[in-house]
Copies of this chain bind each other. A is one copy, B any other.
Amino acid sequence: MTDLSAIEKQLDRLAIEVPSWAYGNSGTRFKVFATEGTPRTVEEKISDAAQVNKTTGLAPAVALHIPWDKVDDYAALRRFAADAGVEIGTVNSNTFQADTYKFGSLTHHDPAVRRAAVEHHLECVEIMTATGSKDLKIWLADGTNYPGQQDMRQRQDALAESLAEIYAGLADDQRMVLEYKFFEPAFYHTDVPDWGTSYAQVAALGDKAKVCLDTGHHAPGTNIEFIVMQLLRLGKLGSFDFNSRFYADDDLIVGAADPFQLFRIMTEVVRGGGLDEGSDLSLMLDQCHNVEEKIPGQIRSVLNVQEMTARALLVDQEALAAARTANDVLGANEVFMDAFYTDVRPTLAAWRESRGLPADPMAAYAASGYQQKINAERQGGQQASWGA
């Protein structure tokens, strides 16, 4: 069995935030399939999320989505989460489902629309304060479908102004992360389409503004680990939205489509200090379990991240450095691949057991009876779904 002693500290530090919306139904524009046991309230979502942490020890925080997860009493919600063994994580704003924002939100040419969007974000900041959340995540659906439809330059300037207003509302220990996305739901231009735009925008704001990198939000063929490296180098990588994809923003389970890519990404996270003590890099899931079971889908996801992190930590850095210095292409690649091909699963099972966790979290969840319980209990009410 692989010896983990040298990497145990970093492994212990690994924490992956899970999104409240992963437990509700999701789908494509063609169909959202309903499933048994789907939560109907924020509390039920948090309960589901807590199962992920209970079986893996890897998911201590739950991200909220506003307005989907609005409640009257956020202090009570925070206590509910604490009782379930988790914290409230990142607060996600949402300007893509109100009719107001059909043609843009923070970028809209109409000051009244921008005003509403800014206010929504300031409300999110209040919720952060009330729940103890530290991060405001902004992902914008803003963009256009047809060439000429709007003035891209004007919108970029409007975005800068809007973000500055929101930034001014952050407390000292709060951050804003700005997510970029190649395309969808806009099909001609997207206002924050790439890391360069997100970087330029947050660099203009200050230290509390960072970039959020969603692993599914890039053009085909993009070397994502390069961007990870660059943003860590520039001190501007705030967080990850993990998922995987074969085509567009497929939102599949992280590591499912290209496990080697996840390994390379985690290698750069390690290289750039993202798992060092004191790092403020936040790791999150952002996925859609359209056809698979949701809670097991989340468990599988955090395990995939853990497995690839362990492999990334196992790279023989000394041998690698020597091969690189010698320009030994095949030698360096072999050292790198050796870590990737190492089967860390038995070792991680032992790591779990040594911490009082089940050796096999998927099996433990299946055996726990939780799914049967919620299937039976959650009758009536309105099922949560992506966008509801």
What residues of chain A have their CB less than 8 Å away from a CB belonging to chain B? 26-31, 33-34, 96-97, 99, 102-103, 109, 141, 144-153, 156-157, 182-185, 187-190, 193-197, 199-200, 218-223, 225-227, 229-230, 232-234, 245-248, 250, 252-253, 256-261, 264, 268, 271-272, 290-293, 296-297, 300, 307, 315, 320-321, 324-325, 327, 329-330, 332-337, 340-343, 345, 362, 386-387
Contact = CB atoms under 8 A, between A and B. Distances in A.
Contact of A184 (B109, B219, B220, B247): B247
A152 B268 contact: yes
B197 A221 contact: no
A291 B185 CA distance: 11
Given A185-B30, A343-B341, A252 B145 contact: yes
B291 A387 contact: no
Contacts of A150: 324, 332
B33 A102 contact: yes
Contacts of A333: 146-149, 256, 292
A20 to B, nearest CB: 17
Nearest to A103: B327
8 contacts: A146-B329, A152-B268, A156-B229, A184-B248, A187-B247, A188-B246, A188-B252, A219-B220
A27 to B, nearest CB: 7
A329 to B, nearest CB: 4
Given A199-B200, A219-B221, A151 B245 contact: no
Contacts of A196: 194-197, 199, 227, 230
A187 B30 contact: no
B260 A259 contact: yes
Copies of this protein in the complex: 4
Contacts of A256: 146-147, 333
A190 B250 CA distance: 13
Contacts of A258: 258, 260-261
A259 B340 CA distance: 10
A193 B194 CA distance: 13
A337 B308 CA distance: 14
A250 B187 contact: yes
B292 A31 contact: no
Given A31-B96, A252-B146, A256-B147, A330 B109 contact: no
Contact of A229 (B103, B153, B188): B153
Given A230-B156, A230-B197, A233-B157, A291 B189 contact: no
A292 B325 contact: no
Contact of A329 (B226, B260, B291): B291
A330 B297 contact: yes
A311 to B, nearest CB: 10
Contacts of A334: 300, 362
A197 B31 CA distance: 25
Given A146-B256, A247-B182, A300-B330, A189 B223 contact: yes
A293 B331 CA distance: 10
A196 to B, nearest CB: 3
A246 B183 contact: yes
Contacts of A148: 315, 320, 332-333, 335-337
A268 B387 CA distance: 35
A330 B292 contact: yes
A219 B182 CA distance: 11
Contacts of A152: 225-226, 229, 268
